[in-house]
Amino acid sequence: MDKKLKKKVALPGQLISTEEEFMPGKNTFEDNGEIFSGSTGLIEEDFKTKEISVKPASEPVKLRPGSIIFGKVDVVKDNSVLIEMRNVYGMDKKVIAPSFAVIPVRNVSRDYVERLHDFFKVGDIVKAGVSKILPGNNIDLETNSPELGVVKAFCSRCRKPLHLFGSSLKCLSCGNTEGRKISKNYLLN
């Protein structure tokens, strides 16, 4: 191991080393012999290349088939759902552009989907898998396994978060009951 990730957070503009000790690496800048952090992140010292760099706390990642993302339902159409992707699951990382992707109706569930509007609603938070990356960087998502689907939904009457009761979602505020393609990781019981 030539690289050492110090468990030390640097802030933008913070003095992290001098040119006598290290060369300025990624996300750093040099001024008058001193090296400063260019972003918020962990300080990384590479003793082989003699470089000091800062690893941003939320470095964006490139998606590939099989990646799991969290996103928000933006539009529900008759044959697809538009998702605004937010984070990549398990990595606490942001999604690199494009930030929008689509769940085609055939990728929604193993069960028959008659009306997509009964499975997703605008504003729902969804856990989805990347199924395909198409030419033009268009991304197809899928929710057709038990852990994928809606993890947080909101009442379509009063907008309060819905709680899971058995296989349906109930609003504790107004008593409304709704259905979704519910993930087994649904957040509110």
Kindly tell me which of 125 and 139 has the beta carbon lying closer to Zn ion.
Answer: 125
Q: How far is CA 81 from the centre of its chain?
A: 17
Alpha-helix residue ranges (DSSP H) falling in the chain: none
Among residues 10, 76, 108, 171, which is the contact residue for Zn ion, using CB under 5 A?
Answer: 171
Beta strands per DSSP E along 25-67: 28-31, 34-37, 41-46, 51-56
Pair type for strands 149-152 and 125-134: antiparallel
Kindly tell me which of 22 and 154 has the beta carbon lying closer to Zn ion.
Answer: 154
Q: How far apart are CA 100 and CA 133, in angstroms?
A: 12
Q: Which amino acid is at 141?
A: L
Can the peptide bond before residue 104 be classed as cis, meaning omega within 30 degrees of 0?
no
Kindly tell me which of 87 and 173 has the beta carbon lying closer to Zn ion.
Answer: 173
Kindly tell me which of 15 and 174 has the beta carbon lying closer to Zn ion.
Answer: 174
Kindly tell me which of 40 and 176 has the beta carbon lying closer to Zn ion.
Answer: 176
Q: Compute how many residues bind Zn ion; rule: CB under 5 A.
A: 8
The answer to whether the beta carbons of residues 133 and 65 sit under 8 Å apart is: yes
Q: How far is the CB of 121 from Zn ion (least distance, A)?
A: 12
Q: How far is the CB of 47 from Zn ion (least distance, A)?
A: 58
Q: Which amino acid is at 164?
A: L
Kindly tell me which of 134 and 174 has the beta carbon lying closer to Zn ion.
Answer: 174
Q: Does 174 bind Zn ion (CB under 5 A)?
A: yes
Q: How far apart are CA 24 and CA 70, in angstroms?
A: 35
Q: How far is the CB of 49 from Zn ion (least distance, A)?
A: 57
Q: How far is the CB of 171 from Zn ion (least distance, A)?
A: 3
Quick note: the x/- pattern for Zn ion over 147-166, rule CB under 5 A, is --------x-xx-x------
Residue linked to tokens 């107004």: 174
Q: How far is the CB of 4 from Zn ion (least distance, A)?
A: 52
Query: Residues interacting with Zn ion, by CB under 5 A?
Result: 155, 157-158, 160, 171, 173-174, 176
